Structure 1
Amino acid sequence: MLTTRVLRSLQYFCNYFEPHINSISFFCLVFFLFVYCCMPPFSQMFQKEVIESVMDITLSSAVEACADVETVPATVSVADLGCCSGPNTLFVVENVIRAVCERRREAVRQLPEFMVFLNDLPSNDFNTLFSLVPEFVQKLKAEHDGRIMVSVAGVPGSFYGRLFPSSSLHFMTSFTSLQWLSQVPAGLLNKGEPINKGNVYMSPASPPSVATRYFEQFQEDFNMFLRLRSQELVVGGRMVLSMLGRRSHDIHKKINEFPLFEALSKSLSISVSEKLVAEEKVASFNFPLYTPSTQELEDQVYREGSFTIDYMKQYYHDWMFENAPNMLSKTCRAATESLICHHFGEEIIEPLFKTHTRVLYERLVEGEDIGWCQITVALCKSAA
């Protein structure tokens, strides 16, 4: 995995510095590559910022859900939905387990056993994730003098379907996943013509009919998600969900632009002008992405009826610093590359994201926003 990053990075830097290669110290280039390639991938850094921003509410919710489990032996079941394959998943679980154990010790109670479920689509790199598990488990055992039992299992599948047995889980998390819909909404064609031209998602510039179709798909998917999770959680079980969202309830306000995808729309338009891709292919392309408002989330939770809201907060991450465009473009690529390749083919990826980085830099230089909004909600399953 690291070797792949090194080779890709070497190719990128050689191409970038080709006009000046004789004036660059080989040592400096190698040192920079070493630092760059040993850093966590940018998508992990993006996700970790989300996780750390809501760690307090995540731990307090976990403690409320898990600390008083009375089964014999006491077994606490925790799941992370949309876990990906990096270390951030185990970072969350590790802190949840510590917090629950600390509460049990304060109450002079026996430590529970932990069953951890890691969920993502079958295409996720579970092998890489599982390679981190032995060290993770041994670390927790060492911290608790071997008096703790932690089991970890992978659960491949979409969280828009049932994943776990009824009333089997105490606590769930999901970070930067629920903005993805189960599918691109139907009805984005009018007499065979795309109606969302110039956009690749439900943007403020989209026609009202596009916003309606996306909202209807979000309602269907989020209602399904809540209903399924309510079947899998015990009464009093809790979820902490954190996703990309909108700063304003009014979809068509410019403040609700998602800069990564606005820049991607512009980059695809540039690709058309450079004859790298056909205009009709771009016009027919839409991401299954919906960024809800806090009001929409609250309305859907109460409409579904299985949960009460313990906490809800909107955050804004202002990434207005010099290297942010490069970092955000890599994050966007990690999240969207498979969808783009499926629609356009692999050959577009490198030039597209080179342009994407440049467009984000232009936004930054012009003083335009390149940050992103995050909404976090903590839910408790109500009694039936």
Structure 2
Amino acid sequence: MAEAEGKAYTMNGGSGLYSYSKNSDFQREAIDAEREHINKAIAVELDIDIISSSNTFRIADLGCAAGPNTFLAVQNIIDAVEIKYQNQGKSSQCPEFHIFFNDHAANDFNPLFVSLPPKRRYFAAGVPGSFQDRLFPRAFLHFVHSSYSVQILSRVPKEVENKRSPAWNKGRIHYSNSTDEVVKAYTAQYAKDMENFLKHRAEEIVHGGLMAFIIPGRPDGRPHSEVFANKSCELLGSCLMDMANKGKISSEKVDSLNFPLYFASPQEVETAVRQNGCFSIEMMEIVPQEKPQLKAFTSSMRSGSENTIKKHFGEEILD
């Protein structure tokens, strides 16, 4: 969910063969793995007195894409809150739930709302806009969730696109395996985006509220070039350069394409939270995931990058 120079980085909408809704099993596995941590965080950390005045528990899923994973994520949160009320003998006082599904305005919200669970135990609303900006009234939300979204930058670093800059990323579409100047530009953009993200969430979340993120990243100390997600972008860039060398696309077009993705380490996340000063990290765990099968992997890559490739090079090279 990023926008640079008017271009939004969005997943494939609809329900076609390469839609995000049909190619996000890998992300769903992470949400399944997260459930235990959500239950524990709400059981231990959530003070239900913060919602007693309104009797409405408000949840936002930032970067919800086109579904269906967002439904699983918010249901896990709702289940955990209801269990907490039951364990405290207050089932009759359990609040109503209002869910806000957020993504960029260019996101295809239609399949999301068409596929809403028919027997859901919550009220649903869509909130279009970048989570790098304010989205909600002050002290409004009780729980903020985001899965596989915070790694998307608000824009490609300006230095990377400037031919006169030492950080110009010629011949590559990402910072993976690039020069130190390119990596530093991406790192600085990530730090700036996280500063904005946390600043706005601090205004929107009630005192005592919670946030939970699933962030694809890299272990502390691991070089960027050795991270699987980065290798994937590097591979895609290499394929595009091969096509340029064969005259199927222009090399200048490849030079001008950069993906606004940054895969942070736990230490970088901790630093961003500490510098913001409005939140504390109650738990953090690295959850290893098995690499997907080749066919599933390529379909997943296409569902996430097809819109960008199509806008930049045209539709004829997609297959």
Q: TM-score range by the shorter chain?
A: 0.7 to 0.9
| Counterpart residue type for residue 329 of structure 1 | T
Q: Cα RMSD over matched residues?
A: 2.3
Deviations 1:58-107 (A, max 9, x none): 23334433644442452111110001112211111112112211211221
Provide the residue aligned with 1:278 in structure 2: 250
- CA drift of 1:301 comes to 0.8
Does the 8 Å CA contact 1:211/1:251 hold for their aligned counterparts? no
Q: Tell me if 1:76 matches 2:57.
A: yes
Does the 8 Å CA contact 1:341/1:349 hold for their aligned counterparts? yes
| Counterpart residue type for residue 154 of structure 2 | S
Does the 8 Å CA contact 1:245/1:292 hold for their aligned counterparts? yes
Tell me how far apart the structure 2 counterparts of residues 284 and 72 of structure 1 sit (CA, whole Å): 52
Higher relative contact order by CA 8 Å / sep ≥ 6: 1 or 2? 2
The 3 A distance-change label for structure 1 pair 73 and 224 is closer
- CA drift of 1:279 comes to 1.2
Does the 8 Å CA contact 2:42/2:84 hold for their aligned counterparts? no
* Structure 1 unmatched runs, 5+: 9-36, 141-149, 351-384
The 3 A distance-change label for structure 1 pair 136 and 243 is farther
| Counterpart residue type for residue 55 of structure 1 | R
**Secondary structure at 1:235 match in 2:** strand
Tell me how far apart the structure 1 counterparts of residues 220 and 228 of structure 2 sit (CA, whole Å): 6
* The 10-residue stretch of structure 1 (56-65 or 162-171) with the greater mean CA deviation from structure 2: 56-65
Matching residue within 299, 309, 312 for 1:340: 309
Structure 1 segment 1-384 matched on structure 2, within 5 A: 4-5=16-17, 41-42=22-23, 44-63=24-43, 64-65=45-46, 67-109=48-90, 110-133=93-116, 135-137=118-120, 140=121, 150-188=122-160, 189-191=162-164, 195-203=168-176, 205-249=177-221, 251=223, 254-255=226-227, 258-319=230-291, 324-350=293-319
- CA drift of 1:315 comes to 2.7
* Structure 2 unmatched runs, 5+: 1-13
Does the 8 Å CA contact 2:167/2:179 hold for their aligned counterparts? no
| Counterpart residue type for residue 113 of structure 2 | F
Does the 8 Å CA contact 2:21/2:66 hold for their aligned counterparts? no
Does the 8 Å CA contact 2:225/2:231 hold for their aligned counterparts? no
Identity in percent: 35
Query: Which has the larger Rg?
Result: 1
Tell me how far apart the structure 1 counterparts of residues 310 and 141 of structure 2 sit (CA, whole Å): 36
* The 10-residue stretch of structure 1 (336-345 or 291-300) with the greater mean CA deviation from structure 2: 336-345
Tell me how far apart the structure 2 counterparts of residues 47 and 186 of structure 1 sit (CA, whole Å): 30
Tell me how far apart the structure 2 counterparts of residues 193 and 178 of structure 1 sit (CA, whole Å): 27
Tell me how far apart the structure 1 counterparts of residues 69 and 40 of structure 2 sit (CA, whole Å): 19
Query: Number of aligned pairs?
Result: 302
Does the 8 Å CA contact 1:116/1:152 hold for their aligned counterparts? yes
More helix by share: 1
The 3 A distance-change label for structure 1 pair 40 and 174 is closer
Does the 8 Å CA contact 1:73/1:113 hold for their aligned counterparts? no
- CA drift of 1:131 comes to 1.9
Deviations 1:298-339 (A, max 9, x none): 11110111110111122332326xxx1211111111111111
- CA drift of 1:251 comes to 3.9
